[in-house]
Structure 1
Amino acid sequence: MSDSKYFATTKKGEIHEFKEDLRSLDKSKKKDAVKKVIAAMTVGKDVSMLFPDVVNCMQTDDLELKKLVYLYLINYAKTQPDLAIMGVNTFVKDSQDPNPLIRALAVRTMGCIRVDKITEYLCDPLQRCLKDDDPYVRKTAAVCVAKLYDINPELVEDRGFLDILKDLLADSNPMVVANAVASLAEIQEVSGKDVFQITSQSLFKLLRALNECTEWGQVFILDSLATYQPRDAKDAESIVERVSPRLQHANCAVVLSAVKVIMKQLDLIEDQTLVKTMHKKMAPPLVTLLSAESEIQYVALRNINLIVQKQPQILSHEVKVFFCKYNDPIYVKMEKLEIMIKLASERNIDQVLLEFKEYATEVDVDFVRKAVRAIGRCAVSLERAAERCINVLLELIQTKVNYVVQEAIIVIKDIFRRYPNRYESIIATLCENLDTLDEPEAKASMIWIIGEYAERIDNADELLEQFLEAFPEESSLVQLQLVTATVKLFLKKPTERPQQMIQLVLTYATQETDNPDLRDRAYVYWRLLSTDPEAAKAVVLAEKPVIADNSNSLEPSLLNTLLNNLSTLASVYHKPPEAFVSRTRLAVQRVDELQPTAFEEDVVSISNSDGNAGAAPSGKAESSAPAPDLLGDLLDLGGPAPAAAPAPAPAQTSNGNAGAAGGISDLLGGLGDLDMAGGVAAAPQPARYADPFAAPAPAAAPAPAAAPAVAPLPVLLPADKGKGLTISGQVGRQNGHIVYQLSFHNGSGTPLDGFMIQFNKNSFGLSPAAQNIDVPPLAPGAGGSAVVPLLQNPAMLSPVAANAGLQIAIRNNQQGVFYFNDVLPLTALLTEDGRIESSAFVSSWKTIPDANEANKALPVNLTNVEAVKAKLAAVNIFLMAHKQVPTTNEEVIYLTGRANTVGAPTQLLLELRFSKGTPGIKVFTKSNRPDLAPMLFDALPALLAL
């Protein structure tokens, strides 16, 4: 009977039965009990209370039972670290067992148990197994080194495991070599150190092992070869020759990894005959990938898309392979379509267009749209085939299918821009389909065509008038195009009807709309027409730049990055790995390697001089004047900043422009009650819109209302410690980003310029996006302010205990460097997307360990709960629930926020308890970063007080 019987339904008292059976002297009964425990563990039941009884079953000669017990240990050792130490003697004993399977099993299990107390006992068995006579044991031990490095990197380096791994690259067994390569590559990625370099000697050993190891071993070796930089073209040719047989492998990952290596080496090979030969060799394996199931096809197509962007000649003769099949999933069809566009050439365009035309009759609307747009992209890319593409588009327009016609008009607009004054004869056909247009992009495209060729369309004013009837209800895209097209029509045909149309459009766009883009464009056109019609013609009717089809092409730098990551998720997402990896791998450093940088040494020296060495920043008042020996290029910030260019003088409005407008000024005379300033018609200004171009009114304007008082920034560096320079500042949040708001006042007797800033390492990895501070030179007695964008950089994470302190240095060209401390407020870290569902709140609260919970009583009285909710929401702390607790006469508010932390955002969960008759509130909080709790408790009193 199969082992499925152990996955029976739960029954009462089964834990007690398991315990009795595990203590039984009957070996078969004990083995069955362990199988039942593993089955229960597999389906999610908690059987951790059986830990001592299962561990007692370790000492057995039955290999199957030993594997089951080891599996249980790996799962529950973290929850029972003190009991897990019971199995160490058995592990050490099994690592010296005559059976190589047991030796490998023991060292592999010890490596998977991430308990510090066991780690120190792993070293001796691991060292023996790395030099074991059996290759199976050696290859298992090689992987175990990477696991141990992830737990304790110092231990791995001190015991010389890295050197042993490098020696294993010369092992006689290819699987040992492959595992050593995989382990070294993993350690290099985690540590950020250059621990694995392929030399000319190790290159030959890796190439030799490549032919004999398993398919996944080949992937590891090929990926490492992709990072090797050959010495010369001959070296590159040798690698290509040895790797090219892997193109015939049955495993898709091996094929793509081999393609990655070959493409990198081909860039260095000068023999063009060899390059063309390799291009021909790479085509069949890539084509073969498309015969697999749909999911593998999609991955292959995403990789091929990158390859054809770099080297389209590889598959230039294989375009037929990418023709869509009727039963292809839509995601496969879309990728094939994209590749066909990139492979389309004058030689195969007729075949490709025939396919696209066929796809345009499919039932899937999205696919049809993509096919029609593909025809337009081919026309833009291939000049000699443009006419054939247009003929196909016209045939599709004749089908009168609404979405086909609209997509065709959109792409024809692009063709007109690519080939001006060449295919305008088809405009009449397009105008016949105005009534079918109901999508904003299609309407905007048709309006652009009418406005651009208004002089060639007899009834252009009538056509535009059809769209103007529904102007207020149209989307912003259509409205913007209508404003521009109407102005073009007016400039090309300045008759009475266009005059009325432009009056209607500009009046509405400046007075009735809330869209700032539409309003600004209308004002610009109005002033152009009122001031200088000839200038308006030069601007509005200027020759358009020729467009190119690069809508789906990647930037060269990004493309090269993705090609270096072929056969990984990066090549499927078409994003660099750092854009979607959820856990940022931080560089692991030994304690004795954490030498302070020049910046840190100076911070420490200043702190020591004040008697505060090692103390966390306690507030904003602490600061220090610069020491004379620190005035060199301490911050490595370079030389003095160039002096700011003087601001250009404001342009003076001429008063003699009334005659320049000529007849057009007369036509614009009826646009409304316009004020005349120096003969120039000024557009009416809505009360909510400040006109930046308007001339000052002759009469004195009423005094503006007093602006609300803005709280001054806290002083970071007082004048007595800054040689007359006062610096105030605070970390805050603007437009969803963390920024440092700074204010300067020069109380010294000399002008100051060239301000630069740098942060020391801190608990949240904050550092300025740029070292230069965008503040103008400060004359004596003058002040200035700046907003410095801040980034979160893993390299800036502090290795010391977490706190909210920031250590900052600011220098200028005249006074040198100043050091001071600041405190990071929690509100600067809270993001705008902190809301979560109530179910997610409850599950998150349960999954976060209780050790991460913190609470504090605050002397704050909540008198207006609704106002408090609004105040908290303004700093991105959002309400989840508000309820009454009748039994305790308390009110409870549940809140949530999300803090920007390096690697991944941290969810912050809050519970506020209070009674209206009792002073004070109780705050409970949980998060995966316990160091956020003190920052929260510091911020809440000010946020809750009204």
Structure 2
Amino acid sequence: MALSGMRGLSVFISDIRNCQNKEQERLRVDKELGNVRNRFKNEKGLTPYEKKKYVWKMLYIYMLGYDVDFGHMEAVSLISAPKYPEKQVGYIVTSCLLNENHDFLRLAINAVRNDIVGRNETFQCLALTLVGNIGGRDFAESLAPDVQKLLISSSCRPLVRKKAALCLLRLYRKNPDVVNIDGWSDRMAQLLDERDLGVLTSSMSLLVALVANNHEAYWSCLPKCVKILERLARNQDVPQEYTYYGIPSPWLQVKTMRALQYFPTIEDPNTRRSLFEVLQRILMGTDVVKNVNKNNASHAVLFEALALVMHLDAEKEMMSQCVALLGKFIAVREPNIRYLGLENMTRMLMVTDVQDIIKRHQSQIITSLKDPDISIRRRALDLLYGMCDFSNAKDIVEELLQYLSTADFAMREELSLKAAILAEKFAPDLSWYVDVILQLIDKAGDFVSDDIWFRVVQFVVNNEDLQPYAAVKAREYLDKPAIHETMVKVSAYILGEYSHLLARRPGCSPKEIFGIIHEKLPTVSTSTIPILLSTYAKILMHTQPPDLELQNQIWAIFQKYESCIDAEIQQRAVEYFSLSRKGAALMDIMAEMPKFPERKSALIKKAEDTEADTAEQSAIKLRSQQTSNALVVTDQCPANGSAPVNELGLVKIPSMSNVDYNSSDQGLTPENGALSVVDPQPTGPSPDLLGDLMGPLAIEGPSGTSAQPEYNIVPGAEVSPIAEDALAIAPVGEQTNAIQPIGNTAERFHALCLKDSGVLYEDPYIQIGIKAEWRGHHGRLVLFLGNKNTAPLVSVQALILPPFHLKMELSLVPETIPPRAQVQCPLEVINLRPSRDIAVLDFSYKFGTHVVNIKLRLPAVMNKFFQPISVSAEEFFPQWRSLSGPPLKLQEVVRGVRPMPLVEMINLFNSFRLVICPGLDPNANNLVASTTFYSESTQAMLCLMRIETDPADRTQLRMTVASGDPALTFELKEFIKEQLVSIPTIPRAPAPPPPQAQPTSPPTSMSDPGAMLAGLLH
């Protein structure tokens, strides 16, 4: 903006720039605003020059970020000024300060219309720019006809017509029902004959918007678009100023081909032939060069041409040429071009039959799975998934399994799911399918959803020839020293049903099968114990007449769990113990599972439906997709009111209120003809909307009752004081909503501090679940927001209140959750430094007349950034000696400890990823533990601990903690103390700095420290 001649404005800007701080700037701005306000009160004495100067000052103050709540009338009045300088100021300031709903805009409509219909081209451009920038409904109703007349006027210069086209485009996009476009087909066809490329490019943008809403009315424009492409790409009839790095107007080429993609087909053979000649020329004339700008422009044209070729379903020869060209692109070094090549190959698979041609590039696509860029790896995975068939399924699935071991956590779940679908869809035989799924579980158990192992169980149960082979493979995997819990589940289920088929094999007697399965019992979670109990009962059933020693062992286990706090486990134990005493009748009571009813995998059906999309639907769908990280999955309920079915065709059981687990490993509903051994009374909870990825699924069967967590553990139940002060959040737990949660929210949080998936919150309308993965100081949580009702949840808002030590980024949360749908919202977490503060999710939604606002603690707690590591004596003692005294080594006598046996304390430490190192302390009442803590400031930091207990008084102990970082040592000591001492779960005050005082002396009842490792641990 020209400031010459406006000394007052120049001085004001200089004063602002010379301010030393924000307070001085605010005082200077307030002074100037007061001066301007006083001058405007006496408006009659203002000259046009002074009014212009003050309005400029208002705009400058507004651009600095200050509110300007007066002077709008003066700015609008300048639009009516006869001279250009004042009129320009009026238009600029009005477009910046006022939005489309401001009342003062109505006062300016007549002045703006006078400029549009006038003969002054400069004033016309100013008016069109204002209308295009604001685009309100009032402007559209009053001014759209005048803008349309300008656009088709033969007496206007191209500059004005170009602005008119863009102005009309904005009005039409904002208010398509107001702008009258009836009979505009012929007008648009005439505009496409325009020689001026500026007007033509603007008109083509308008045409794209028009045909996107209704292509039927604009068939006459189709041959004109083809002629424009001929003019640009073949004849190159373009002025020099519209040639970009030797490419004739790439913007107009892209817009023209985009408009053509909204027409479903081209009937005229001459037009179709001309278009394909142009596309052929574009495909042949594009290559990768060193100039980045030319690459970007030429590839923009090329990839739009490829999209048009796919849309028109061109001849096989042209498709082959397109694939060959894309094959060159996926092999270049430039990552953006590789990404576009892979993406367009995937799109070609969706709309046409080029699978055989794309297979020639399979090795290069597999290589892209190892690309440093994760977005390229994702596109390569999508392409491999799409191009897989019976001829290459084995190779592709084996590559995916091999890649699974090194893939990023962010991709493992998707990899696992796609490998499972391909294995089922293209399995040459069922034994290969079983091999693939078991390898999948072995390599990536944490990322394999329950649906997948349910499906393999269905296949094994339904195919008698497969049962001995599956039993052998399950037995082999149990021999591994460390297997995932999902592998324990599937192996126990299969061996429980079919281990008797292996009786003649070495190491496969009932007693040996029981022994190797029972070894896994201490390592599994509560959700797996019911499956193991069922397996034991099945083993007893298959050993008739019974082996008395084996029978007594299994009965002892049943009796042990008869008093378990978990209702599901308790009921199974009681009923199995009672049934197993019936002798030979047990063979009839617990006979083999009958076959499942044949049903097609819902995932495969969904994949086939996607592949069946027509070229037209695919092009329009891909064009209209909006990028969003929130995935909505609608859960359709059967019309007959039966249980909802998940993606693999398996019935979801109702959700547990606290801990999610499989309620029945037997998995048959009454209509399947099987005896339901465990049949708990239904409690009528709502269906679990998190079933696909983390909920309590069963192959089929009724729900169990809720379970209580094993430990009532409080891992730093607090909110960051910084976040609390800044955002004025209420203490977590003091909820004032009329809608009450289902289950104990605090217990859900504590359970999620020990595991990585489960339900965080549930009420009658919504269920919020979490699935998390942790790697070093990085974490990725996915919030599952499930609408449990048949009406949408609206006004959904989610705000993360992170403590100072966590960097957290939540993806887009949609404002509305559709009925019976589930939304997935990824949350990225980075641990910056040691701290026990807790992040809070401030979540609200509206259902009918109910407005619910809840604040939930997120389980991104300190122990999530631990990595267990066991150290030997040779590694431990040098480290322990080197960390001598505060602040790196802190010692404290802790009193008020919850009395617990040493074994329970060991289990408690293990649950928080603190590894007990046996043999390092000769005193059997003492524990030595280690772990590695990850944060951005400490990197991987080794932490060492020693706990000295007093057998005579279990309520006190001495704790010594050491690490290479003072803050980490203090926070870790406090964290462990919080787990051992019963403290109220309230937000705590800011943590004090690490103490510098001398270590506290030990309690008098403890043994002499000199007798313990001769002072090595002090």
TM-score scaled by length of structure 1: 0.49
TM-score scaled by length of structure 2: 0.46
